[in-house]
């Protein structure tokens, strides 16, 4: 368990605390730990949070380690030892699990140009890990698992050499304990031969997202002194395992690795799925029977293990049930909708007129000032908002009473934004429970859990929807509240939609057809919504795609295929918009330098991006490219409770203007304000608007 993030735990373990937190050594205390995660603003210390980004291709966010020249590492956390001792006291044969040292180093960011992270940094981190292994061995650990997911990405010979030298160091400290190096999320490809030759006792491979791992095993084998942990139960999705097919795979693996050296396991940590499908009484039984959450997946692991070692006859009933469920899902009318499939086959995206022409038309219609200010979309979902929604859902208030509450909330936020001086307004999204769930509840073939919480970051948990069949839009989804908000002001109000790629990547998606096909179905539904919003008079529509980068395959050779269909889906969603309608999108907390060309191909009029936590690194991307459309690099971090001053925001804004022309720059926070309090939001936005005005004045003086 972690109090915020597993990578932050590892940062504390090796004492990699950045200087700005004024840590003086010893054990990393909780105040320092949470300052790194969320930032801190006290009389004696004002420090920004560490950067946060996505964990591989998942929706989990991790804190990015900061590596510096001359950095000194030390064993600075007893968490892993305390938890192991606690388990021993309860007679639990626990296996300590840590992020592997190489992955920890590769997931970090060098703060000094030319820093030798594979030399200086990895040597320091590995030395601490050697102490950790030795101490866990002394405490009686039988197995120690080190998760090294980075080998499923493209790795260089130098990185693989560093992997080998690191584990030679750790193996020298393990004593009687056994080391397991576990990979996940894909095939290890060029890393395979190095991995299986490490001086460790077991290797974990993902056979679900990395089916090519079987061919690698077949080609190169596995030494007789090593165990294979075969990840054959999907730890990333929620469908029941086809037990018979999986046993066929295990039988094939068993011809290469004897059963006594073969362990059945999930394909990755089960942190990415909910806890127990049996708790979901609100899901139709016909759909619920197809689902397997963490509890069910562990039962599947046990069943597969029993069949592998004792024979299939010992699990005949489980195999029969699995076959029945598989057939039920394959033939169910809940899954297949011929009308949706036919309409999608007949639909193609339309090309919008060139941006330079749209820009002039939009300027005449919207009449915005230079450096226009806006927010990303949501405003605080206070306890009052959540309570009203809960009372409506449980029948304690009528739909009329709930609608009146939403109307009142929208009217208040429109008035507040006008008072703040924002130029493009939003309706606040008070009626929305989640940026994906809200839409999924109004589309066909989505199911929703009541207890299916999955960690996104820190204490922020989400309940990903389940897409089980063909997707369609029965009726308009957002027109009512967007048009109501626009009726209250003469300033433009953004219609707010979640993009098709994000809805796909933030859901548990059906696995019986391509993700591209499902995404196109969602895009077609959204294109209908865009048309309705435009017809209702909305002239600014934001279609958020924060998960576009998240879905990028882990191997570069597969990037272009994904980006081609992802961009096509976004284009399908927006292609019906007229030239006078300004299309925005928003993205956050991802390495966008990898996909800047793809972002340009989205052909949106304005894009807002997270920039504050990454220290302005994003601006360097635009310094090196010719991006010519509107862009709003976030000027302050909404995931931290600290309130930035006017001068701080203006400095970031002026840094942006040093790279981008003022005619292209928008001023906005780096993400939605849903999770913040009004006490934080109002002064921060006041400072943001004041900073924008000061920057406008500075520009006027330069003319």
Question: Which of 140, 176, 185, 179 lies closest to 163 in space, CA to CA?
Answer: 179
Question: Which of 623, 618, 593 lies closest to 670 in space, CA to CA?
Answer: 618
Residue with tokens 């897409």: 467
Percent helix, strand, coil in the chain, to 5, is 45, 15, 40
Question: How far apart, in whole angstroms, are the C-alpha atoms of residue 454 and residue 276?
Answer: 12
Contact between 615 and 389 (Cβ < 8 Å): no
Contact between 171 and 179 (Cβ < 8 Å): yes
DSSP state of 282: T
Question: How far apart, in whole angstroms, are the C-alpha atoms of residue 164 and residue 223?
Answer: 16
> The sheet that has 262-266: what strands, in order across it?
97-99, 143-147, 178-182, 202-206, 227-233, 262-266
Sign of CA dihedral 249, 250, 251, 254: positive
- Beta bridge partners, 228, equal 203, 262
- Beta strands 446-447; 466-467: pairing state: antiparallel
- Please identify which of the residues 61, 427, 639, 687 carries the catalytic annotation: 639
Question: How far apart, in whole angstroms, are the C-alpha atoms of residue 637 and residue 48?
Answer: 9
Token pair in block for residue 652:
């970031």
Question: How far apart, in whole angstroms, are the C-alpha atoms of residue 182 and residue 150?
Answer: 10
Question: Which of 145, 69, 136 lies closest to 103 in space, CA to CA?
Answer: 145
Q: In the annotation, is 639 catalytic? A: yes
Cα-trace Rg, the chain: 26
Provide the phi-psi class of 219: left if phi over 0, else alpha when psi is between -120 and 50, else beta: alpha
Question: How far apart, in whole angstroms, are the C-alpha atoms of residue 396 and residue 227?
Answer: 57
Residue with tokens 């000032």: 369
Contacts of 513 (CB under 8 A, 6+ apart): none
Residue with tokens 């936005």: 685
Contacts of 277 (CB under 8 A, 6+ apart): 238, 288, 291, 292, 293, 295, 296
**3-state DSSP call for residue 295?**
helix
Instruction: Kindly report the length of the chain.
Output: 703
DSSP state of 592: G
Question: Which of 216, 78, 200, 183 lies closest to 139 in space, CA to CA?
Answer: 78
Contacts of 552 (CB under 8 A, 6+ apart): 57, 559, 562, 563, 594, 595
- CA distance to 9, 558, 649, 677, per residue, from 3 (Å): 8, 35, 30, 21
**Which stretches does DSSP call E strand in 16-131?**
40-41, 46-47, 52-54, 61-63, 66-67, 97-99, 109-110
DSSP state of 507: S
Question: How far apart, in whole angstroms, are the C-alpha atoms of residue 696 and residue 232?
Answer: 58
Alpha helices in 424-575 (DSSP H): 437-440, 479-487, 500-505, 515-535, 559-574
Contacts of 96 (CB under 8 A, 6+ apart): 80, 83, 84, 136, 141, 144, 145
Contact between 608 and 376 (Cβ < 8 Å): yes
| SS3 letters across 60-113 | CEEECCEECCCCCCCCCCCHHHHHHHHHHHCCCCCCCEEECHHHHHHCCEECCC
Contact between 491 and 418 (Cβ < 8 Å): yes
Question: How far apart, in whole angstroms, are the C-alpha atoms of residue 18 and residue 34?
Answer: 13
**3-state DSSP call for residue 519?**
helix
Active site residues: 639
């Amino acid at each position: 368990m972690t109090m915020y993030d597993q990578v932050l735990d590892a940062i504390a373990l090796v004492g990699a605390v950045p200087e700005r937190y004024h840590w003086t050594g010893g054990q990393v205390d909780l105040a320092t730990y949470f300052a790194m995660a969320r930032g801190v603003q006290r009389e004696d210390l004002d420090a920004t949070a560490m950067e946060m980004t996505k964990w591989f291709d998942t929706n989990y966010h991790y804190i990015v380690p900061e590596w510096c020249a001359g950095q000194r590492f030390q064993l600075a956390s007893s968490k892993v030892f305390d938890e192991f001792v606690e388990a021993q006291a309860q007679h639990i044969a626990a296996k300590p699990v840590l992020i592997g040292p190489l992955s920890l180093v590769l997931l970090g960011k060098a703060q000094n140009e030319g820093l030798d992270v594979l030399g200086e940094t990895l040597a320091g981190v590995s030395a601490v890990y050697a102490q950790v292994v030795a101490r866990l061995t002394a405490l009686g650990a039988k197995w120690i698992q080190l998760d090294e997911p980075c080998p499923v990405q493209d790795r260089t010979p130098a990185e693989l050499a560093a992997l080998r030298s690191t584990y030679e160091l750790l193996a020298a400290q393990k004593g009687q304990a056994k080391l397991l190096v576990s990979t996940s999320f894909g095939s290890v490809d060029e890393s395979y031969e190095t991995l299986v030759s490490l001086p460790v006792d077991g290797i974990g491979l993902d056979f679900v997202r990395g089916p090519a791992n079987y061919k690698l095993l077949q080609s190169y084998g596995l030494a007789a002194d090593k165990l294979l942990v075969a990840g054959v139960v999907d730890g990333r999705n929620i469908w029941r395992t086809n037990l018979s097919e999986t046993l066929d795979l295990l039988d094939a693996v068993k011809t290469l690795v004897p059963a006594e050296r073969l362990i059945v396991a999930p394909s990755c940590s089960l942190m990415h799925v909910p806890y127990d499908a049996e708790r979901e009484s609100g899901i139709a039984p016909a759909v619920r029977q197809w689902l397997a959450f963490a509890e069910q997946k562990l039962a599947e692991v046990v069943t597969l293990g029993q069949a592998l070692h004792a024979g299939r006859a010992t699990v005949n009933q489980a195999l029969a049930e699995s076959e029945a469920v598989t057939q039920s899902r394959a033939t169910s009318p809940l899954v297949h909708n011929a009308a949706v499939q036919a309409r999608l086959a007949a639909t193609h995206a339309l090309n919008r007129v060139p941006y330079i022409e749209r820009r002039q038309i939009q300027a005449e219609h919207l009449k915005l000032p230079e450096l226009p200010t806006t927010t990303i979309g949501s405003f605080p979902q206070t306890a009052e908002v959540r309570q009203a929604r809960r009372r409506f859902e449980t029948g304690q208030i009528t739909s009329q009473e709930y609608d009146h509450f939403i109307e009142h909330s929208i009217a208040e936020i429109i008035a507040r934004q006008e008072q703040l001086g924002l130029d493009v307004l939003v309706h606040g999204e008070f009626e929305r429970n989640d940026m994906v769930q809200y839409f999924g509840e109004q589309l066909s073939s989505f199911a929703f859990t009541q207890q299916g919480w999955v960690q996104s970051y820190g204490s922020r948990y989400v309940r990903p929807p389940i897409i089980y069949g063909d997707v369609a839009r029965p009726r308009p989804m957002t027109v009512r509240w967007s048009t109501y908000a626009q009726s209250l002001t003469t300033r433009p109000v953004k219609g707010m939609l979640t993009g098709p790629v994000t809805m796909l990547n933030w859901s548990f998606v059906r696995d019986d057809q391509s993700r591209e096909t499902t995404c196109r179905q969602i895009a077609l539904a959204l294109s209908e919504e865009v048309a309705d919003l435009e017809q209702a008079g909305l002239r600014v529509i934001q279609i958020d795609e924060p998960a576009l980068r998240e879905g990028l395959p882990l191997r570069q050779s597969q990037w272009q295929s994904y980006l081609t269909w992802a961009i096509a889906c976004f284009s399908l969603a927006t292609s019906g918009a007229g030239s006078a309608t300004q299309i925005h999108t928003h993205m956050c907390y991802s390495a966008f330098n990898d996909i800047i060309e793809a972002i340009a191909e989205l052909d949106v009029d304005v894009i807002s991006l997270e920039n504050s936590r990454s220290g302005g690194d994003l601006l360097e991307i635009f310094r090196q490219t010719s991006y010519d459309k509107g862009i709003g690099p976030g000027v302050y971090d909404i995931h931290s409770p600290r309130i930035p001053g006017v001068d701080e925001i203006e400095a970031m804004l002026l840094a942006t203007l040093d790279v981008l022309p003022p005619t292209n720059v928008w001023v906005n926070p780096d993400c939605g304000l849903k999770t913040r309090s009004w006490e934080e939001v109002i002064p921060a936005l006041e400072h943001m608007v004041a900073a924008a005005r000061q920057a406008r004045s500075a520009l006027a003086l330069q003319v």
